[in-house]
Amino acid sequence: MIKRIKLPGWIVIISLFLLLIVGVVSMMQGSSEAKEKTEDYSVYPGLNIKTKTKETDLYTFSVSQPYTEHKQINKVIDEWVDQQKTDFTSEINIMEDFLKKNEFRAHLNIQVETEKIADQIYTLEFEAYQITGGANGMTKVKPFILDLNQNKMLQLGDVLQVKEASIKEIQKLIMKELNSNKEINDYIFEELAKEAIKNPDNWKWSISRDKMGVYFDEYEIAAGAAGRIKVEIPMKKIKPYLNKDFVEKIDITFPEEKNNKEEEKHSEDMVELDPNGKYVALTFDDGPHPKVTPQILATLKKHDAKATFFMLGSQVDYYPTLANEVAEAGHEIGDHTMNHQDLTILGIDQIQAEVQQSNSVIKKAAGRTPNLLRPPYGALNDNVKQIAANMELPIIMWSVDSLDWKSRNATAVNEEVMANVAPGSIVLLHDIHPSTAEALPELLTTLEKQGYQMVTVSQLLELWEDKGVGPHYGNIK
């Protein structure tokens, strides 16, 4: 039979076979994609954020970095962030002997403010602060304007009329705003300022629904005492020079924000514990994360376990619905500051701002104000303690470090915790690493077999009748 099939017949059979294979592969891929698809928790559609932290004997760094599904947009942002890291690392190499001799840790913090201008159009304002020695650090600012509808970074010509007459009028507005600012007026070098804005291609600028911002680095147009400078021109003044197409885009009407939920006590937090019970408090830092946090919530629910989540305000700003889900599930939410800065290198007013801003963002999202504080990196000094005391926020450290941030391995995480856990331990974990979510089912099962019950940090403090500021570390083996 096979011998009777001529060449054209074989071609048809082979073609059908190949189509069958392609169809099966496509079905498998579609199935895989369906399994991997996760709910979009971001309040900025098309835009997500990741926070990366690192700690060594010489330095710490924390980077909050938005990302999209568009590789070209991500590439532009990545290149700028990577350059800040490179500059910082180079400075560390130069200052290594100084840092060791003076027992001083350098620090790099990159944070971002995000503003929605219109549907899928955002302004990202990055601020990179680094300090590698001495009394003062260095701050750099970089704005990006993203149009995800067109998959591009907006340039000045996409927003403004770049005709010579229009540019001259905008230059006058910039100088007027600089000269009217009494706080920095005495430090401004007018000739340097005029030179800095001479070429619009070199402007660092941003746009929002109510103003245009123009940025200058430290020492660029003023004495160092002025710091970095941002000029803000009200929209009513800049609107005549905007492109008509852009004006139409930003005139989109946004729905009103939903009213904040009233703050309420959750009964799960108020359960009285048996003084003779065997308890451990699992704590999760740096979230919420759109993929990892939901996995952890599902596992905790399956084991009827409660935990404490120390959230970053910058993450909650992007994922408020997820923060609310954590609260609604009966878990405790603590404050991990707004931008994961080393609080010990900040002034007391800056420390207070970091904590208060995060408190406000979390309350708006979750419906209740955090009642605990965990300083990033566990870095403490008298100023941090004073702010915590003023705000009546107990400082919560940890007695068991899972080292999940280091190993990124589920087995290693379980081994590290079980080797050190004891009744009354406070365990440090992070709900930003997939390996931590993978480790949790086995970790909870093992703890339960040894008679442990998972509770919140506040429940432990209530059990110990310890309501002071602390710091509180928990028990070790």
Q: What is the pLDDT of residues 46-63, one digit of tens each?
A: 999 999 999 999 999 999
User: CATH number of the domain that 97 lies in?
Assistant: 3.30.565.40
Whether 454 and 426 have beta carbons less than 8 Å apart is answered as no
Note the pLDDT of residue 275. 81
In a domain, residue 2? The reply is no
In a domain, residue 13? The reply is no
The reported pTM is 0.82
C-alpha distances (whole Å) from 177 to each of 225, 241, 397, 417 are: 18, 17, 46, 57
Mean pLDDT in residue range 284-296 = 96
More confident call, 264 vs 113: 113
Q: What is the pLDDT of residues 272-287, one digit of tens each?
A: 778 888 999 999 999 9
In a domain, residue 474? The reply is no
Q: Which domain holds residue 90?
A: 48-250
Whether residue 95 is found in the same domain as residue 160? yes
- Return the top range by mean pLDDT from 132-136, 234-238, 349-353: 349-353
More confident call, 138 vs 361: 361
C-alpha distances (whole Å) from 183 to each of 220, 277, 429 are: 17, 59, 44
Whether residue 174 is found in the same domain as residue 79? yes
Whether residue 97 is found in the same domain as residue 192? yes
Q: Name the residues annotated as catalytic.
A: 285, 430
User: CATH number of the domain that 392 lies in?
Assistant: 3.20.20.370
More confident call, 5 vs 188: 188
Whether residue 242 is found in the same domain as residue 353? no
Whether residue 190 is found in the same domain as residue 333? no
Whether residue 331 is found in the same domain as residue 456? yes
What is the domain count for the chain? 2
Cα separation of 332 and 335, whole Å?
10
The chain-wide mean pLDDT, for the chain, equals 88
Note the pLDDT of residue 2. 46
In a domain, residue 99? The reply is yes
Note the pLDDT of residue 264. 44
Cα separation of 250 and 47, whole Å?
18
Which long-range contacts (C-beta less than 8 Å, at least 24 apart) are formed by 38-42?
38/290, 38/291, 38/294, 39/290, 39/294, 40/290, 41/288, 41/290, 41/318, 41/319, 41/321, 41/322, 42/290, 42/318, 42/319
Q: What are phi and psi of 245, to 5 degrees?
A: -60, -40
In a domain, residue 264? The reply is no
In a domain, residue 207? The reply is yes
Cα separation of 210 and 387, whole Å?
34
Note the pLDDT of residue 226. 86
Residue 408, pLDDT > 90, answer: yes
Whether residue 217 is found in the same domain as residue 303? no
Whether residue 184 is found in the same domain as residue 300? no
